[in-house]
Amino acid sequence: MDYSTLKGFPQGFLWGGSSSAYQCEGAWDEDGKSPSVSDTTDIPEGTTDFKVAIDHYHRYKEDIALMAEMGFNEFRFSIAWPRIIPSGDGEVNEVAVKHYHDVIDECHKYGIEPVVTLYHFDLPQCLQDRYGGWADRKCIDAFLKYCKVCFAEYGKKVKYFLTINEQNMMVLYQGHRDYKDEKTIWQANHHMLLAQSLAMQECHKMCDAKIGPAPNITAIYPATSSPEDNLAAMDFDQLRNRLFLDPACFGTYPEALLRWFTDRGVAPVVEEGDMEILKNGHPDFIAFNYYGAGCVKYVSKEEGEKAVAEAMEKKDFMTGLMTYPGLCMAVNNPLQESTSYGMGIDPVGLRITLRQLWERYHLPLIITENGCGVPDTLEDGKVHDDYRIDYLRRHIEACREAINDGVDLFGYSPWSAFDLISTHQGITKRYGFIYVDRDEFDLGTLDRYRKDSFFWYKKVIATNGEDLDDLK
């Protein structure tokens, strides 16, 4: 639907940017920190590891000052579990506790609201070694201990906590763990859902902060108008999105999906009391990351198994991971634009996603990732990234339209505040408003430079989203 007039963003709307500890901090083995699974994971050939990243651990004051100059009133960042409790579930590292107090205080100095992610892909490696990671219920207790430390230390300073970043991406696309069979994967997912619910309950007991999940959520389109493809889109929506939000918000699993798991012998073991734990989670809001919509077609069990085998033989691992025999197969949407890295550009899909989330869960929403990752060129201290400005403008316009649809959206925190190390494409795939002078294997100066998008976003924030025009 179109509107003849649009109301603006609400007063107090949170404008900011996002980051994660392992992708920006560096200092991977300093001040008592132990390795995380992100530190020990195989790095794609030709890309950097996360050991130095952009040295935000030592340069956070400079980075926060630059965000303040942009006008940020929010900054989403993560606390590194292996810094706070290097053994995973033992002694607390007071040096790390103080460091994050300092980061939070520096944000408050400039009137920037810290939005803190508790777990962003950096499970302590020692827990992976000791228990097999989230496949063991002992990880639930370890996570809860870590969360309690964070709530006790920072609960009076932080208004918004996020539980687990993109749990669905970790589970569906096999990130940062070594689970050899599908049943173990869904068991690990169940344990993470329980840990999340217990963390939300503990947050409500220990402090006045609000807390919510932070999955990657997107609209799912059928490849054609056929009933089979429409059903496949419905099924994939359950697998891609609802499997992670229904338990958090309703305390239930999607029934058709659970039946499918059971039929294939991969359903997680649900112990007595588990569903009660899920029902008592009660998130205060939903944070979500959005990059582009998905498109699927129906694929039979036989066709799907053949497609997976062919994809794996060609080492096309993503196609293999995104095909579910008897359920669906992800396909390219010829109507969706994409970046040079093949990331979708679909602002209307963001509006659809916002409406779907609001209409199903009726919880306030905040976008905690949305961005354009491409190689940038620094020339004479400047980066002309008009492509990023265009991307962000269109998605902010979609946010405004969703607000006019009735959606309760209270913040927009794109990925990322500054350049950082991408999960799969190193530093070359840049997302930030602030350019960091380094490449994959040459640390350069690590100096910071304001991109054109820096000045554009400053103008957007200053006008509370009213002025989205290009820079003059």
Residues catalogued as catalytic? 166, 369
Check whether the bond before 87 is cis (ω within 30° of 0).
no
